[in-house]
Amino acid sequence: MSQHWTDEQMSAWMLGERDAEMAEHLAACDECRREVAGLQATLAEYRTSVQQAAAADDYRWVRIRAGVAGRSVYESHGLRWAFTTALAMAALSIGLLVSPGKPPVQPKQHAVEMTDEQLLSEIQNDLSRSAPQALAPAETLQQERAAVLAQTNSDRRQDR
């Protein structure tokens, strides 16, 4: 290496990614050695300041202790709720088991035998409807509504 280190090479050295060529350059180059020493000093200062801030923040530890103590109160409420809920579920389960219930409804099975012609006729009838059979009441209501609106409009025209 004849040139000074790039930022990437400097970062690699600080992160421990070292090889013999880099070590030789660092031993021979005063400028790169000063740069590495400066970075190491800066990191050491930062590490020290973080450790001091953590050690000096006694109030933080008081808050943490208070939070942990407060959680135990909430946990006891949680246990109380869990116990009450379990009792309520047990009572409900017993009530449901003891009370007589209706027998389950069995779906009706229609045994319909059709010829192919009858089946095709049914399909043709279904396809010729303007609305599905399930919506037939809604279609009737829509037709009645349209008739009422038409009557109302004709009454308004006659009043003019």
How far from chain centre, in Å, is Cα 30? Answer: 56
Same domain, 50 and 73: no
Residue 42 domain-assigned (yes or no): yes
User: What pLDDT, in 10s, does the model give residues 6-15?
Assistant: 888 888 888 8
Q: What is the CA radius of gyration of the chain?
A: 43
Band (pLDDT 50/70/90 cuts) for residue 45 is very high
The answer to whether residue 108 is domain-embedded is: no
The pLDDT value given to residue 41: 92
> Token pair for residue 151?
């009557």
Q: Do 28 and 5 form a contact (C-beta atoms < 8 A)?
A: no
Please name the residues in contact with 35: beta carbons below 8 A apart, sequence gap of 6 or more. 5, 10
Most confident of 57-61, 80-84, 105-109: 80-84
Confidence of residue 66 (pLDDT cuts 50, 70, 90): confident
Query: pTM value?
Result: 0.35
With respect to residue 110, please indicate whether it lies within any of the assigned structural domains: no
Q: Does any domain span residue 39?
A: yes
Range of the domain at 46: 7-56
Whether 113 maps to a domain, the answer reads: no
The answer to whether residue 106 is domain-embedded is no
Confidence (pLDDT) at 2: 62
